[in-house]
Chain A
Amino acid sequence: KQEVTQIPAALSVPEGENLVLNCSFTDSAIYNLQWFRQDPGKGLTSLLLIQSSQREQTSGRLNASLDKSSGRSTLYIAASQPGDSATYLCAVGSGGGADGLTFGKGTHLIIQP
């Protein structure tokens, strides 16, 4: 059974810092990996999707990497802003995408103005 772990569970940093969120998974036979953002009281917003054949994806100030063999992914946020404050969730897909996603517990990020 796939298990996804995210470290740290919470992080508070001053505005402007670059930061890294970590995600690890136990079964390397994944189909894809997705990073989401969840704001309080709201649904999930997809940030980046990495297919199993890819090593990284970038969107604006966000960069996500994937190392399938070691079961790790990182989300890099450059020049953090207070608006980046949210919970960031890592989720792993298997079964060709038809099996849904297995989620980590998330990293609660606070960017101090």
Chain B
Amino acid sequence: SAVISQKPSRDICQRGTSLTIQCQVDSQVTMMFWYRQQPGQSLTLIATANQGSEATYESGFVIDKFPISRPNLTFSTLTVSNLSPEDSSIYLCSVLQGNSPLHFGNGTRLTVT
């Protein structure tokens, strides 16, 4: 199965700044997704990262707030912009290869002060 490296593992950011999270996979994957897990909640899909084109966002998530890049089949970034305390969450990268189970990185724990 794919090995996913997600960085940073955690960060504390000030209100109004931005954080960029990186997701690196050790092999080419079909699909890459970004999820958010708010405190005490389950995971919510933010968007599908599309290689070489704009990401596909779920309802309630917009590109201006969560810009995503996927320059190739093994790498993606998620930026959380104009941070507010409500953005404090765990952000997780996940990848899909064919019919294999969806695999997740270890997540990035973001705290906004």
Using CB atoms and an 8 Å cutoff, list the residues of chain A in contact with chain B.
Answer: 34, 36, 41-46, 49, 51, 89, 91, 93, 97-106
Contacts and interface: CB of A to CB of B under 8 A. Distances in A.
Given A43-B92, A44-B94, A46-B101, 9 more contacts: A42-B106, A44-B43, A46-B104, A91-B43, A97-B31, A98-B31, A99-B48, A100-B33, A103-B42
Interface in B31-68: 31, 33, 35, 41-45, 48, 58
A45 to B, nearest CB: 8
Contacts of B45: 100-102
A51 B98 CA distance: 12
A46 B45 CA distance: 17
- For the complex of A and B, list the 6 residue pairs with the smallest distance between their C-beta atoms, beginning with the closest: A43-B106, A46-B101, A49-B101, A44-B104, A100-B45, A103-B42
22 contacts: A34-B101, A34-B102, A36-B104, A41-B109, A42-B107, A43-B92, A43-B106, A44-B94, A45-B104, A46-B101, A46-B103, A46-B104, A49-B100, A98-B31, A98-B96, A100-B94, A101-B43, A101-B45, A101-B102, A102-B45, A103-B42, A103-B43
Nearest to B105: A43
Interface string B71-84: 00000000000000
